[in-house]
A and B are shown apart, each in its own frame.
Chain A
Amino acid sequence: MNSAETMKRTETMLLNLGPSHPSTHGVLRVLLELDGELILRADPDIGYLHRGIEKMCEYRTYHRCMPLMNRLDYLAGEVNLFGFCLAMEKLLGIEVPKRVQYIRVMIAELTRIASHLFWLGTHGHDLGAMTPLFYAFREREKIMDMCEMISGARMFPLYLRIGGLAADLPEGFIPAAWEFVKSFPEKCQDYHNLLTKNQIWIERTQGVGVMSADEALDWGWSGPMARGSGVNWDLRRDNPYSSYEDFDFVVPLGKNGDTYDRYLVRMEEMIQANRIVRQVLERLPDLPPGDIQAKDPRISLPSKDAVYNDIAGLINHFKLIQEGIKPPVGEVYQCIEAPKGEMGFYIVSDGSPQAFRLKIRGPSFVNLSAMDKLARGRLLADSIALIGTMDIVLADVDR
Chain B
Amino acid sequence: MPLLELHNLKKYYATQKAVDDISFSIEKGNICGLLGPNGAGKTTLLRMITGIFFPDEGKIMFDGREFDPMNDIVNIGYMPEERGLYKKMKIGEQALYLARLKGLSKTDAMARIKEWFIKFEMQSWWNKKVEDLSKGMSQKLQFVTTVLHEPKLIILDEPFSGLDPVNANMIKDEIYQMAKKGATIIFSTHRMEQVEEICDHIILVNKGKKILDGTVANVKQDFKENLYKVSFARKILPEHLAIHLFEVKKKTDTELIIRRDPGYSNNDILQYFINKGLAVDSFNEILPSLNDIFIKLVEGTPSTRQFQTVTA
Note whether A and B form a binding pair: no
A residues at B contact (CB < 8 Å): none
